[in-house]
């Protein structure tokens, strides 16, 4: 049923039928969860060989016993391996602990209070009202880090090529307090967008527009997470920055959290020699070294780019049917209904759904009341405030295909109910 072509009588009849379906869901005592982008058990099982892979040999290629203190920037083998993932050279890398989020928070904290190029470059020395650009819909944990640090977030719309660069460039020109931008450039969270070559090139120029202390936080979390062979590649941002002379204006992040074990992976940080040297110095005040044994485990397990590609193909085989299930349910029930729009990602971990304006919170509540948990409406916007109240992030990787199909049956009924009731209210 097309929402705008149905008569009021047809809408009321459909609402009654949907209400009956909804009542049936209430009686099923469902407990389904599409809230977070977590790997499922089958994905985690792909990396079980990490256990015992070192065979009691804890020495790296330099002969260093990795069970001891030291190596604050990680082992050389890990730098060489993970530099390829984000398109850098090994000397541009710092290898950390389990997750990339602590590295991002550490870098933001350092830039804010201590500066990346000496104390005079600290953002707090330049202003008491530091701001960050937040492409939306975006990643809630990025936003939370800034909120915790007292950095104001300014939303900027995403389109099919990435952030709206006309607006980004205009805003950084107009406001010197804007000191950075969050970017998830390949299979962006939650839209699945891959930044176009033009967008990457324009982002590389921002340092020349905004000034020397502006920093692009390039969180390439899904760099190797394609599940379609035709998925577009991402231009090398550091090559673009070097061409513009802005290599000091970018920090690159990644991790194996969705490659190996989500709770026991390896994170990595890339940047110019100036930034890496500064960050190593500041890191030394809070740690005497990461888990180097885990880094060596990952080197032994992943080995090289070819083996990593083969490993990620196994991930794709597991998760693609889950995305297919989501997209098929949306298309079958809502494809010609004018009750919402959604992305069709070729990689990553999410599907972004836009309801009609003003309905996201109602849809999430309707689903929750029958046992289907969704990411809270507004979570993909700074401060949890989606001004149009329409975006809902769907995370289909963790449940089984059968569970996803059931959850989506509920979801589309909730979308239909909310949309028809809104239309009848008009």
What's the burial of 27, exposed, middle or buried (CB within 10 Å: 0-12/13-18/19+)?
exposed
Could you tell me the pTM of the whole model? 0.96
The DSSP bridge partners found for residue 162 are 159
DSSP, residue by residue, 400-424: -HHHHHHHHHHHHHHHHHHHHHHHH
Encode pLDDT of 60-119 as tens digits. 999 999 999 999 999 999 999 999 999 999 999 999 999 999 999 999 999 999 999 999
User: What is d(CA 73, CA 290) in angstroms, rounded to the nearest whole number?
Assistant: 8
Beta strands in 257-410 (DSSP E): 267-270, 340-342, 351-355, 372-374, 391-394
User: What is d(CA 54, CA 350) in angstroms, rounded to the nearest whole number?
Assistant: 34
Q: Of 170, 136, 174, 166, nearest to 153 (Cα)? A: 136
- Walk me through the domains of the chain, giving residue ranges and CATH numbers: 8-43+309-425 (3.90.1150.10), 59-303 (3.40.640.10)
pLDDT at 312: 98
Residue 358 in this model has a pLDDT that exceeds 80 = yes
User: What is d(CA 12, CA 22) in angstroms, rounded to the nearest whole number?
Assistant: 15
What's the burial of 324, exposed, middle or buried (CB within 10 Å: 0-12/13-18/19+)?
middle
93, 268 in Cβ contact below 8 A? Answer: yes
Residue 426 in this model has a pLDDT that exceeds 90 = no
For the chain, percent of residues with pLDDT exceeding 70: 100
pLDDT at 1: 74
Encode pLDDT of 295-340 as tens digits. 999 999 999 999 999 999 999 999 999 999 999 999 999 999 999 9
In this structure, how many other beta carbons lie within 10 angstroms of the beta carbon of residue 328? 13
Beta strands in 201-260 (DSSP E): 215-219, 250-255
Encode pLDDT of 261-276 as tens digits. 999 999 999 999 999 9
Q: Of 324, 387, 350, 374, nearest to 139 (Cα)? A: 350
Q: pLDDT band at residue 149, thresholds of 50, 70 and 90?
A: very high
Residue 348 in this model has a pLDDT that exceeds 80 = yes
For 149, 150, 217, the CA distances from 144, given in Å and listed in that order, are 9, 10, 14
């Amino acid at each position: 049923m097309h929402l705008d072509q149905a008569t009021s009588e047809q809408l009321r009849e459909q609402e009654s039928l949907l209400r009956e379906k909804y009542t049936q869901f209430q009686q099923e005592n469902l407990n389904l969860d599409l809230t977070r982008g977590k790997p499922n058990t089958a994905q985690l099982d792909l990396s079980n060989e990490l256990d015992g892979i070192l065979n009691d040999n804890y020495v790296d290629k330099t002969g260093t016993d990795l069970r001891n203190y030291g190596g604050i920037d990680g082992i050389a083998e890990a730098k060489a391996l993970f530099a390829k993932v984000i398109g850098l050279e090994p000397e541009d890398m710092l290898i950390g602990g389990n997750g990339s989020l602590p590295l991002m928070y550490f870098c933001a904290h350092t830039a804010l209070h201590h500066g990346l190029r000496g104390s005079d470059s600290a953002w707090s020395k330049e202003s008491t009202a530091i701001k960050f650009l937040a492409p939306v819909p975006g990643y809630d944990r990025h936003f939370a880090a800034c909120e915790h640090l007292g950095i104001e977030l300014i939303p900027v719309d995403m389109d099919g090529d990435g952030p709206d660069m006309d607006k980004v460039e205009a805003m950084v020109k107009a406001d010197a307090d804007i000191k950075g931008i969050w970017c998830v450039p390949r299979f962006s969270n939650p839209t699945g967008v891959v930044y176009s070559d033009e967008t990457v090139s324009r982002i590389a120029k921002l340092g020349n527009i905004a000034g020397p202390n502006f920093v692009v936080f390039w969180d390439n979390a899904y760099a190797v997470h394609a599940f379609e062979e035709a998925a577009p590649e991402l231009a090398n941002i550091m090559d673009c920055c070097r061409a513009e002379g802005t290599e000091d204006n970018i920090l690159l992040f990644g991790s194996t959290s969705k490659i190996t074990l989500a709770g026991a992976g390896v994170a990595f940080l890339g940047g110019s020699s100036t930034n890496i040297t500064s960050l190593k110095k500041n890191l030394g005040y809070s740690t005497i070294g990461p888990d180097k044994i885990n880094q060596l485990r990952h080197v032994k397990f992943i080995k090289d780019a070819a083996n990593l590609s083969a490993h990620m193909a196994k991930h794709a085989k597991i998760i693609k049917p889950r995305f297919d299930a989501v997209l098929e349910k949306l298309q079958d029930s809502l494809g010609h209904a004018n009750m919402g729009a959604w992305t069709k990602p070729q990689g990553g971990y999410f599907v972004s759904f836009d309801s009609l304006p003003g309905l996201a919170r109602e849809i999430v509540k309707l689903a929750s009341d029958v046992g289907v948990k969704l990411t809270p409406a507004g979570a993909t916007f700074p401060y949890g405030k989606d001004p149009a109240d329409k975006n809902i992030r769907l995370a289909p990787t963790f449940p089984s295909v059968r569970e996803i199909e059931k959850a989506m049956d509920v979801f589309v009924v909730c979308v239909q109910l909310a949309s028809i009731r809104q239309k009848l209210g008009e």
